[in-house]
Every structure is written in C-alpha cells, then in structure tokens.
Amino acid sequence: MHRIRLFGLAFIAVVGFAATSAAGADAKTVLTLSDAAGKIGTGDVITLESTDLKAYTEAGIWECEHNELPIGIGTNGAAKDTGLSGEEHSYGEFDGIPGACQNTDGIPLLFQADGFPWKAKFTVRAGVGEMAETGTKRLTLIQELVYPELGEKNKCEYEFAKLVSSFAVNSTPQPLVLETREQEYKLNSKYRDTASVCPKSGQLTALWTVTDVNGVVSVLDSLAP
C-alpha cells in the first residue's frame, strides 16, 4: 500500500505539472500602453522624443538636439500593439540656423523624413520589449548640407529597412523609454541631388522618452490565458 500511495502522489504531481505547462503554453503576452488617464485609446497620439540622437559614419558623427516621432495608436492591450506615424522631425539651432543639426566637420544639416506612413509595432521577445518602425518601402531621411561649395548636389538620402528600439517591461506600469542601438542605414546613391561627400552608410543611436497629452506614457506586460 505504501508503494501504491507513493505512485499515486507521483502520478498526481506529473499530471499537475503537465496541466501547468499546458496553461503556460496557452498564455500570451498582453502589452498595454497607458497614461495618467488610463489605457491609451485607438487614434490617440503618443510622441517619442530624443535629445541625444547621433549617427556614426566613416566621415564622423552627425547629431540633432531635438527629435520627435508621433505615433497614432491602433491596437493597444494585445500581444502586438500597433500604430502609424505620418511625420518625424529632427532639428536643432546649430550656428544660429533655424532647424539646423550638425556634423563633426561643423557643417549645418537640415533633415526631412519620408517614406510615410511608418508602421509601428510593439512586441515582447524573451522578456524584452521591442518597437519596430517600417515604412511603405523604406524609412527615409533626407539630409541637406548647408554648404555653398557643394552647389545644387548637396543632399544625402539615407534609407532604413526598419528602425528597431528596445524597452524594459514589467508586470506593473513603468515609464516607456526606448533605446535605439547601432541601427544601420545606407545611402541611396541614385538620389538626384546626392553630394559627393555623403558617407555610404552609418549607425544610428538614440534614447527616447514617450509622452502624450496626459503626460508620461507607461507600459506593462502581463500574461493572459
């Protein structure tokens, strides 16, 4: 009888473990964006802002003091939250020129983003949040060099296959902060006004805070059966 009891307990333990594993297999991540007023709704806009965006190239570094990426929320509170961007702004005040960013050679740069709409997708992979932006074809940044010696061919058109940033997640709400690390981009050499001094490629880095009309945007990751 003692052996039978032990076998019975072992059987119950195995069945219990199998049931728990099955429940875990059925569970899925639910990612929710919220603000001071609660869950952010469809059509509401969140804005990513960075003050330290830098791009590292073979010719040096270019950087912008202010970078803003608004995202209109589509899906929120799902395994994959979504949104759309119709604009992006990168600007500064270098050398007293309105909107000008700069590079390490001291050349003022003006930026224009293109390839809209950009599609945003928020997911969680192996416990780490990820936001990926993809364009209609590619994400595009057109860089105009404010440098008279170059004449009319004074632009560099850079393309990204996608822009990927990571963020921390937890089972309780915390401020959404995204980090872009060494995001690769390439020069479109076929662009009509390409300058001879444009670097062929580069890597973008930035740290983004996220807000909306109600202040700081938070994120939480919970598991739902």
pLDDT in the model for residue 152: 87
Quick check: is 21 in a domain?
no
Residue 215's domain comprises 31-224
Quick check: is 1 in a domain?
no
Nearest Cα to Cα of residue 203 among 91, 92, 54, 88:
54
Quick check: is 50 in a domain?
yes
pLDDT in the model for residue 27: 54
Query: For residue 112, what are its two tokens?
Result: 């224009």
Quick check: is 17 in a domain?
no
d(CA 108, CA 62): 9
Q: Which amino acid is at 47?
A: T
Quick check: is 123 in a domain?
yes
Quick check: is 203 in a domain?
yes
Quick check: is 143 in a domain?
yes
Tokens 């807000």 -> residue:
211
Walk along the chain (225 residues) and give the pLDDT tens digit of each residue. Answer: 443 333 333 333 333 433 333 334 335 789 999 999 999 999 999 999 999 999 999 989 999 999 999 999 999 999 999 999 999 999 999 999 999 999 988 899 999 999 999 999 999 988 899 999 999 889 999 999 998 888 889 999 999 999 999 999 999 999 999 999 999 999 999 999 999 999 999 999 999 999 999 999 999 998 744
Query: For residue 86, what are its two tokens?
Result: 């119709």
pLDDT in the model for residue 12: 31
Nearest Cα to Cα of residue 155 among 140, 144, 169:
144
Side-chain half-sphere CA neighbours of 129 within 13 A: 27
For the chain, the domain total comes to: 1
Q: Which residues, 6+ apart, have CB-to-CB distance to 15 below 8 Å?
A: none
Tokens 């700081």 -> residue:
216
pLDDT in the model for residue 11: 31
Nearest Cα to Cα of residue 175 among 84, 87, 48, 67:
48
pLDDT in the model for residue 137: 87
Cis peptide bond N-terminal to 70, omega within 30: no
Quick check: is 119 in a domain?
yes
pLDDT in the model for residue 25: 36
